[in-house]
Chain A
Amino acid sequence: MSFTHRHLLGIEHLSPVDIGAILDLAETYVDLNRRTDKRSDVLSGLTQINMFFENSTRTQASFELAGKRLGADVMNMAMQASSIKKGETLIDTALTLNAMHPDLLVVRHPHSGAVDLLAQKVNCAVLNAGDGRHEHPTQALLDALTIRRAKGRLHRLSIAICGDIAHSRVARSNILLLGKMENRMRLIGPPTLMPSQVAEFGVEVFDDMEKGLQDVDVVMMLRLQRERMDGGFIPSEREYYHRYGLDAEKLARAKDDAIVMHPGPMNRGVEIDGTIADDINRSVIQEQVEMGVAVRMAAMELLARNRRAELAA
């Protein structure tokens, strides 16, 4: 097995071969997850701790389910409510955790780079479940698996990511992953929500959504965070929906068989028309959630293999 990483901190450090290895293994878990008996024992005996320093229901549930199906002992720590409020630093939290001997640590944190910092200080495998506006690697992997299954391949596709790119770790990880797999990337959104010098990432940038969607294979929508409105990034929700909300008229510019994706949770009527989100011929949003569990199972299994080998050595 070529996958030699100790942690999964971002897509940046993965090779196309690594990505392929995770997706191939995830396919086997898609099958397992559809059976009545979903149990496996590849993580049996290992302890998985989910540490979420930022609110999350969906991602945390997905990681928890993935760990339980693989037989790990899973513990959730809601970090917002606990020691952070008492002034404990991230490093001290890491030292406390080390003493509990976890094997897999799943971390979400509101600051970019915080998960990297934690990974330097703990003795176990760390999975980044989203750090600030930096990376969210398992989201990009589940998106890749969804695309590969829907399109039959993960290269030479024309893929548009639309919305608040600047504040999105999902967008960053997807740009990196889909770029590594040699797809044609387009970013669509108002210029106030574009990262600076983003064109240097080898992407095409559009502020006109209809032009940007022309002939694409995949339309990936991003959630518009409500707080962006207060920050003065856009004038109003209704103007945003008019210019950047995905409706039938704009989607008609894409290829006839283009798929529609959204990392959830959706704001219907803000970034996406509800009827499109529910259109089973176009929307793969539910499948993304399903792939999420499978991809997380695969990533944790690969890290656990390396972890066991490291402990045995």
Chain B
Amino acid sequence: MRDILFSNAHLIDPEAGTVHQGQLLVRDGQIAAQLAPGDLAPEAEEVDCGGRMLAPGIVDIGVKVCEPGERHKESFRSAGLAAAAGGVTTIVTRPDTSPAIDNPETLEFVSRRAAETAPVNVRTMAALTKGRDGREMTEIGFLLDAGAVAFTDCDRVIENTKVFTRALTYARSLGALVVAHPQEPGLSRGAAATSGKFASLRGLAGVSPMAERIGLDRDIGLVEMTGARYHADQITTARALPALERAKGNGYDITAGTSIHHLTLNELDVADYRTFFKVKPPLRAEEDRVSTVDAVRNGLIDIISSMHTPQDEESKRLPFEEAASGAVALETLLPAALRLYHADSLDLATLFRAIALNPARRLGLSGGRLSVGAPADLVLFDPSAPFVMDRFKLQSKSKNTPFDGQRLQGRVLATYVAGQEVYRKS
């Protein structure tokens, strides 16, 4: 395989925290060198980046691919194409399929399907309890051997604290990462919106933002007790942030993520019961959104995820409280996140720290960086190119994006996995 030289680029290096002009040399699917603009490069196939941004490909924790069970909503093929079109080079899948991915055999099936059909890297998370019903822990050891990178019951909270404690303790002995959904289940049961003026006006059952704080507080207590490696999937409220900060300050092995929707939308976007804006946890007040963006900027929240959740039209064309939660976001993650860049809320190096470097580090993956020896998983994009989002042009089988019809800025021009082009904008 010939060497490839990505010339005339702006390199976004989240590890160094810099954005600078330069060239990138790729050899055998790995990054071989970062060169200054005028540096003499060895004989190589040249890709002229036209002065655009070249960054490590996005590593997206918490993508739902609906295999097994609901392949009509999303398959590994369609999710992989969507990821490639969105600059996502590694998707980390959720086990909230039907049946749940809670045993090594199912995990192996999923891994095989992914390897056969998806053009990007796929890593899998497995359920923490069997059937995700919070009673018995899964075969964490076997699942690790089969390739699980983390363990999660997704949006289901393990209500029985004893069961959760044992699972955390057992996971710790194997060094396994547990991803949890911090939420007090009694308070949040049945809620379709965040309690407050908007939910009251619309007559929707609401959950107090305090439910997230209480859920996180409990989990932090259990982490202190068990010493487990813990990641909170979505922190979306201002009130949860001081607790997170204290826990990190105490040296516990805790990280936190948030979703792109909670960073770029608020509860008022639901307007007249638009079900494409129904996500879990529900969209928050504007003050919470701003606090969450601040927490990403200062590094308190480590990771931004798409929380890609395909739903077909039938699941969404229902009265708001009955409609399914979730939104597709693999293809809109980067353009939506660039809203924060254009609003001067996040610089590009910080953004890629949250969408590429930190998730790779947390899962022990080698991607997410531009350093020598890292896989040449790359995204080339124009951060300023404007377009109007048309949901029917999405690669995902499901078209449930809240950004339909909205003006976005920033387009992926090409995506590379191990130096191979997997997407080029036509």
Contact = CB atoms under 8 A, between A and B. Distances in A.
B273 A116 contact: yes
Contacts of B272: 113, 116
B323 to A, nearest CB: 9
Interface string B198-212: 011111101010000
A112 B202 contact: yes
Q: Give the interface residue-count category, chain A.
A: 20 to 34
B421 interface: no
Given A89-B314, A134-B203, A172-B203, A112 B197 contact: no
A195 B319 contact: no
Nearest to A168: B203
Interface in A79-133: 89-91, 109, 111-114, 116-117, 131-133
Interface stretch (A149-157, A196-204, A209-217, A304-312): A196-204
Contact of A135 (B197, B200, B203): B203
Contacts of B201: 12, 172, 201
Contacts of B199: 195-196
A114 B319 contact: yes
A90 B200 contact: no
Contacts of A111: 319-322
B276 to A, nearest CB: 13
B312 to A, nearest CB: 12
B195 A196 contact: yes
B317 interface: yes
Contact of A132 (B203, B206, B314, B317): B203
A201 B202 CA distance: 12
Nearest to A131: B203
A69 interface: no
Interface string B334-359: 00000000000000000000000000
Chain A binding surface, main DSSP class: mixed
A197 B197 contact: yes
B196 interface: yes
Contact of A90 (B203, B204, B206, B318): B318
A131 B314 CA distance: 21
Contacts, number: 68
B273 A112 contact: yes
B143 to A, nearest CB: 36
Interface residues of B, number: 20
Centre residue among A111, A116, A169 by max chain B CB count within 10 A? A111
A165 to B, nearest CB: 9
A195 B273 contact: no
A192 to B, nearest CB: 13
A284 B272 CA distance: 35
A134 B319 contact: no
Contacts of A91: 317
B280 to A, nearest CB: 18
Contacts of A201: 197, 200-201
A196 B319 contact: no
A89 B320 CA distance: 13
Given A116-B272, A117-B273, A109 B319 contact: yes
B318 A112 contact: no
A169 B272 CA distance: 16
A8 B73 CA distance: 36
Contacts of B317: 89, 91, 117
Nearest to A135: B203
Given A116-B273, A196-B195, A132 B200 contact: no
Contacts of A169: 203
Contacts of B321: 111-113, 132
A89 B318 contact: yes
A175 B203 CA distance: 13
Contacts of B318: 89-90, 117
A197 B318 CA distance: 27
Contacts of A12: 201
Interface string B265-293: 00000001100000000000000000000
Contacts of A131: 203
Nearest to B322: A111
Contacts of B208: 196
Contacts of A114: 319
Interface in B308-327: 314, 317-322
Contacts of A133: 203-204
A241 to B, nearest CB: 26
Centre residue among B202, B203, B314, B321 by max chain A CB count within 10 A? B203
A111 B273 CA distance: 11
Nearest to A169: B203
Given A172-B203, A196-B200, A196-B208, 5 more contacts: A109-B319, A116-B273, A169-B203, A195-B199, A197-B200
30 contacts: A90-B318, A109-B319, A111-B322, A112-B202, A112-B319, A112-B320, A112-B321, A113-B202, A113-B203, A113-B204, A113-B319, A113-B320, A114-B319, A116-B272, A117-B318, A117-B319, A132-B203, A132-B204, A132-B319, A133-B204, A134-B204, A195-B199, A196-B197, A197-B195, A197-B196, A197-B197, A197-B200, A198-B200, A201-B197, A201-B201
Interface of A: 12, 89-91, 109, 111-114, 116-117, 131-135, 169, 172, 195-198, 200-201
8 tightest A-B contacts by CB?
A: A134-B203, A113-B273, A195-B200, A111-B319, A133-B203, A114-B319, A112-B203, A196-B195
